[in-house]
Amino acid sequence: MVPVARRLLSLTARTVRSGLFFLVWVALVATPDSAQAQAGKPEGLYYKSWAVVFGIEDYLVAPKVPGAASDAKAMADLLRTLGFEEVIELYDKKVTFKQFNYILNDVLPRKLGRADRLVLYFAGHAGQTTDVSGAPLGYLVPWDAQVGSVAKSVTLDQLKEFSRRVMAKHILLILDTPVTGWDVTAPQQLSLEGRMAPEQDTEKRAVQVLTAAKNGEEVVRSDSIGLFMQVLKEGLSGRADRNKNGWLMATELAAYVQEQVETRSKGSQHPQYARLDGDGDTILIEGRKVDFTVGAGPQTEEERTAAAKAHYEEAFNLLQARKNPEEALARLDKAISLAPSFGDAYVLKSYMQLEVLPNVDEALKTANLAVAHAPANPDSHYTLGLIQEKKGQYQEAERAYLKALEVNPDYADVLLSLGTLYEDHLKQDEKAADAYRRYNELGGTDRRASRFLEGHPQPPGSQ
């Protein structure tokens, strides 16, 4: 076993004992990372969240669509509560064929950036025609178009082409209308790599579409709210978060909507979902990074162990980078919840509770668990000793240091700590001299040991 905590402890052992490590930590965290700033990476998942909401109830020539405008307004309000800063709303006669295309071909391509997300919602009439190869092709009907004519309509191929021209990372099309027929680019399978790192996984491109029903089906509407919209509101309130990890993805929302609408309509309305391009997933509600998973999360013991190790390594990386100690601690808690016997996670957690996010009483509890689950890791005993010494439990600290040296007799930092314990608290100069001497023999350079030995020379003839 390679005790990762020891690598961290050995780098900071002297500053740990002097209490300077935490000050160094704060100073480093407070210093902006200029390289990251130059890279233009957003602080959160997205730079900006955009939404365009079209609601057409009173058509110029086509039949009325009762409730379409009120459903669209409800969606606009809901998206604002989800953190969408820019919400463009167009209703009835403002949704002309010309204006629709102006939004798609001019406004959005100019405004959306690479780290943005977009939700486009449409409520109104739709239809279906065929493309040049005879395949079904759905289309949306603007205010000044007729249902049976595709000439002044917006086809799903045009929406697909639009999604390729804008720079947004994630695009979700929510079409509150019965429509199918689109060209789907086969997505790649999500890899296991980066599953526990949302900042990596969420960089993947995604263009997704969710419709209210199949072409030709009757959409259940009312003057208050349509069935599709009602279920959308429920899902976006958090009910669609099936794995209960705090993250709501477009795929989760789609699964919830399909199930609920089909059930409540008694099988008369079948929402359709597809990933049109990319292999990512639009994030609608962001949870804690530590809780991010794809799908249901690890199921088997092997998967849980692998996930626990990934959380542990991420926690260690955060500590090395002097970033977000709270997240590092949360990741260690997650690792322990996935693998309760993961001893090294207890070791690193006890160290954090001692020096990074100080809570000495909790640190002692965690350190005892570290010793129980990782007895072969010298850092479990060493950290326990540091905590006991801080609590004034000097005899217990001595036993813990000696146990660490049983596991690794050449652990120089433990010898230094043992020497200072004998010198400062137990007042056993002979034992202090022996510990310091062994420390120096291992190449220790702390001047305290040398100064003590200068005043306590080894008796002549002793080995």
pLDDT digits (tens, 9 = 90+) for 255-285: 999 999 999 999 999 999 998 888 889 999 9
User: Does the structure show a pLDDT above 60 at 30?
Assistant: no
In the numeric block, which tokens belong to residue 49?
Answer: 């969240």
Per CATH, which fold does 4-37+298-408 belong to? 1.25.40
Unique residue bearing structure tokens 């850092």? 379
**Contact status, residue 5 vs residue 383, Cβ threshold 8 Å:** yes
For position 13, what pLDDT does the model report? 42
Per CATH, which fold does 49-285 belong to? Rossmann fold (3.40.50)
pLDDT in tens, 298-331: 678 888 888 888 889 888 888 888 888 998 898 8
**Contact status, residue 206 vs residue 275, Cβ threshold 8 Å:** yes
For position 459, what pLDDT does the model report? 67
Candidates 254, 218, 192, 292; CA nearest to 66 is 218
Q: What's the chain's average pLDDT?
A: 84
Residues sharing a CB contact under 8 Å with residue 463, sequence separation 6 or more, in sequence order: none
Candidates 141, 166, 168; CA nearest to 156 is 141
Triad 326, 204, 37: Cα angle to 5°: 55
Triad 203, 204, 210: Cα angle to 5°: 120
CA–CA distance, 243 with 14 (Å, rounded to integer):
44
pLDDT in tens, 382-425: 999 999 999 999 999 999 999 999 999 999 999 999 999 999 99
The Cβ of residue 236 has, within 10 Å, a number of other Cβ atoms equal to 21
**Contact status, residue 86 vs residue 116, Cβ threshold 8 Å:** no
Domain ranges of the chain: 4-37+298-408, 49-285
For position 16, what pLDDT does the model report? 40
Q: Give the phi and the psi of residue 220 in degrees, each rounded to 5.
A: -75, 115
Dihedral sign computed on CA atoms, order 305, 306, 312, 316: positive
- Residues 167-180, mean pLDDT to the nearest whole number: 93
CA–CA distance, 100 with 94 (Å, rounded to integer):
9
Question: Long-range contacts made by residues 151-157, C-beta under 8 angstroms, separation at least 24?
Answer: 152/97, 153/97, 153/127, 154/97, 154/100, 154/101, 154/104, 155/129, 156/181, 156/182, 156/183, 156/209, 157/131, 157/182, 157/183
**Contact status, residue 335 vs residue 344, Cβ threshold 8 Å:** no
pTM > 0.95: yes or no: no
439 or 10, which is more confident: 439
